[in-house]
Amino acid sequence: MSVEVKQEPALDTDQETRILLLCHENPEGINDALIQEHMPQFDVQQRVTAINRLLSTGRIDLLKSSSGKLIYKLKDSSAADPVKGGDQQEKVVYQIIKDAGNKGIWIRDIRFKSNLLLTQVNKILKNLESKKLIKAVKSVAASKKKVYMLYNLEPDRTVTGGAWYSDQDFESEFVEVLNQQCYKFLVQKAELSKRTKEDPIAQRNGSFASSQDVWKFISELGISKVQLSVEDIETILDTLIYDGKCEQTIVAAAGDGGQTKLYRAVNSLINSTGLMRMPCGSCPVIQNCHVGGAVSPTTCVYFKDWLQLQ
Interaction of residue 200 with another protein, rule CB under 8 A: yes
Interaction of residue 106 with another protein, rule CB under 8 A: no
Binder of another protein out of 204, 224, 235, 261 (CB under 8 A): 204
- Per CB under 8 A, which region of 67-75, 151-159, 227-235, 291-299 contacts another protein? 291-299
- Per CB under 8 A, which region of 24-32, 39-47, 197-205, 224-232 contacts another protein? 197-205
Q: What's the closest the beta carbon of residue 252 comes to another protein, in angstroms? A: 16
Interaction of residue 144 with another protein, rule CB under 8 A: no
Of 55 and 283, the one with the shorter C-beta distance to another protein is: 283
Interaction of residue 276 with another protein, rule CB under 8 A: yes
- Per CB under 8 A, which region of 14-22, 121-129, 252-260, 295-303 contacts another protein? 295-303
Interaction of residue 282 with another protein, rule CB under 8 A: yes
- The set of long-range contacts for 130-135, using a CB threshold of 8 Å and a minimum separation of 24, is 131/82, 131/85, 133/82, 133/83, 133/94, 134/94, 134/97
Interaction of residue 173 with another protein, rule CB under 8 A: no
Interaction of residue 119 with another protein, rule CB under 8 A: no
- Per CB under 8 A, which region of 27-35, 52-60, 211-219, 297-305 contacts another protein? 297-305
Q: What's the closest the beta carbon of residue 32 comes to another protein, in angstroms? A: 40
Interaction of residue 274 with another protein, rule CB under 8 A: yes
What is the amino acid identity at position 202?
A: A
- Per CB under 8 A, which region of 34-42, 89-97, 219-227, 264-272 contacts another protein? 264-272
Binder of another protein out of 191, 226, 277, 288 (CB under 8 A): 277
Between helix 88-99 and helix 118-130 the angle, nearest 10°, is: 80
Give just the sign of the alpha carbon dihedral 280, 284, 289, 295.
negative
Interaction of residue 273 with another protein, rule CB under 8 A: yes
Exposure on the CB side of residue 200, measured as CA atoms within 13 A: 0
Q: What's the closest the beta carbon of residue 68 comes to another protein, in angstroms? A: 29
Where along the sequence are the contacts to another protein (CB under 8 A)?
194, 198-201, 204, 239, 241-244, 247, 266-278, 280-282, 286, 289, 291, 296-298, 300, 303, 306-307, 310
